[in-house]
């Protein structure tokens, strides 16, 4: 191996480890963030009776290897079908590892998809890219067919077909608009307005919840629950967000509604984790 190859390999490994580490940290940061309506957080299990914070943290840590493999596979490459198939295969292995870790509970299937694409995209740009570069490249990858992916029933596939709305696949294929147009701008705005870091992150989650067709909410609660989530999240932000007394009051009402309907915005949680990932690795 010549010196150039060796240094390129070393660089790939260093960048891939950094990206995978940030992805896991983003998942842990999302899981610990409190309060979140309906979701598992540091206070409890929200609308879930099969998940808790230690399980989410263990699940996040178990995905380090999958994210590392995706980043190594994507290093300095352009999007093509071979790469799409490769990360699909790694993603399915990651799902198996997650399921083994959680005893069969689906904690992070959507996150493996969203963060997997973004980690790969980051490595395709050699670890030096803006959030827009990474989301655009991830979208190109998501638009490619993974012909090796076995067809299987999914709740997301069922509700997106039934209610004619976009789901996780379409969010990625359209360049993650809920991250680039809602979460990241809101995170910056709330920080600038003097909200604490925790409050700013909750505001970013709420910004996603104002508009996402979250298939977790749809499959448990139908369109009425989804509409209530959109309206409730808008009310919190319109009241000034989590950094204000009125915003916190509106948040309590939203949380009460989501817990009563036993719904939980798992898709929005994944997109928040992906936003935190981009916030920590993207070049500005
Ligand atoms: C392309 C895939 C994402 C599959 O998508 P599909 O929609 O067909 O399948 P689902 O199994 O439904 O997974 C989608 C998960 O994505 C999250 N999500 C939901 N809505 C959106 C949205 N609009 N935009 C982005 N992301 C979204 C969500 O994941 C989170 O919630 C899960 C927990 O849900 P919960 O309802 O609480 O738990 P369940 O046990 O499922 O239900 P209950 O019984 O409790 O009610 C958890 O996974 C969170 O992460 C959706 O669940 C992709 O997964 C795929 O093709 N995979 C194959 C392998 C591959 O290619 N991997 C990727 C390599 S990069
Ligand atoms: N905090 C959380 N609670 C429930 N489901 C999730 N999926 C991803 N993050 C989650």
Start-to-end CA span in the chain (Å): 35
CA distance 65 to 34: 27
Ligand nearest to the CA of 141: 1
Structure tokens at 238: 């319109």
- Tokens at residue 251, please? 């948040």
At 66 the pLDDT is 98
- Distances in Å between the Cα of 17 and the Cα atoms of 22, 111, 169, 173, 276 are 9, 18, 26, 26, 17
Would you say the CB of residue 94 lies under 6 angstroms from ligand 2? no
Sign of dihedral through CA atoms 202, 207, 211, 212? Answer: negative
Q: Give the residue extent of every domain in the chain.
A: 3-148+158-278
Residue 60 CB less than 6 A away from ligand 2: no
Q: Rounded to whole angstroms, how far apart are CA atoms 184 and 170?
A: 19
- Tell how far CA 189 is from the center of its chain: 20
Per DSSP, the three-state class of 146 is coil
Q: In tens digits, what is the pLDDT along the chain, a chain of 284 residues?
A: 444 565 788 899 999 999 999 999 999 999 999 999 999 999 999 999 999 999 999 999 999 999 999 999 999 999 999 999 999 999 999 999 999 999 999 999 999 999 999 999 999 999 999 999 999 999 999 999 998 888 899 999 999 999 999 999 999 999 999 999 999 999 999 999 999 999 999 999 999 999 999 999 999 999 999 999 999 999 999 999 999 999 999 999 999 999 999 999 999 999 999 999 999 999 99
Structure confidence at residue 4 (pLDDT): 54
- Centre of ligand 2 to C-alpha 142, Å, is 22
Indicate which ligand has the atom closest to the C-alpha of 115.
Answer: 1
Atom of ligand 2 nearest to the CA of 40: 3
**pLDDT confidence of residue 6:** 57
Contact 251, 184 (CB under 8 A): no
SS3 165: coil
Strand partners, 44: 41
pLDDT of 1 reads 43
């Amino acid at each position: 191996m010549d010196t150039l190859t060796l240094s390129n390999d070393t660089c790939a490994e260093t960048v891939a480890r950094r990206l995978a580490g940030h992805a896991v940290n983003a998942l842990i940061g999302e899981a610990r963030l409190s309060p979140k309506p309906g979701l598992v957080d540091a206070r409890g299990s929200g609308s879930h009776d099969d998940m808790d914070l230690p399980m989410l943290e263990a699940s996040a840590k178990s995905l380090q290897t999958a994210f590392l493999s995706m980043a190594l596979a994507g290093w300095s490459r352009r999007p093509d079908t071979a790469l799409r198939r490769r990360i699909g295969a790694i993603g399915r292995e990651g799902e198996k590892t997650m399921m083994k870790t959680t005893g069969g509970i689906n904690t992070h299937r959507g996150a493996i998809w969203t963060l997997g694409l973004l980690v790969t995209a980051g490595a395709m740009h050699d670890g030096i890219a803006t959030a827009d570069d990474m989301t655009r490249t991830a979208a190109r990858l998501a638009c490619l067919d993974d012909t090796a992916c076995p067809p299987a029933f999914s709740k997301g596939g069922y509700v997106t077909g039934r209610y004619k709305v976009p789901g996780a696949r379409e969010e990625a294929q359209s360049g993650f608009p809920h991250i680039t147009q809602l979460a990241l701008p809101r995170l910056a705005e709330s920080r600038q307005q003097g909200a604490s870091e925790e409050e700013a992150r909750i505001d970013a989650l709420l910004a996603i919840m104002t508009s996402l067709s979250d298939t977790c909410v749809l499959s448990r609660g139908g369109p009425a629950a989804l509409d209530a989530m959109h309206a409730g999240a808008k009310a919190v932000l319109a009241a000034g967000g989590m950094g204000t007394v009125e915003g916190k009051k509106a948040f309590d009402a939203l949380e009460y509604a989501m817990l009563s309907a036993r719904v939980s915005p798992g898709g929005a949680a994944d997109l928040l984790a992906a936003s935190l990932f981009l916030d920590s690795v993207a070049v500005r």
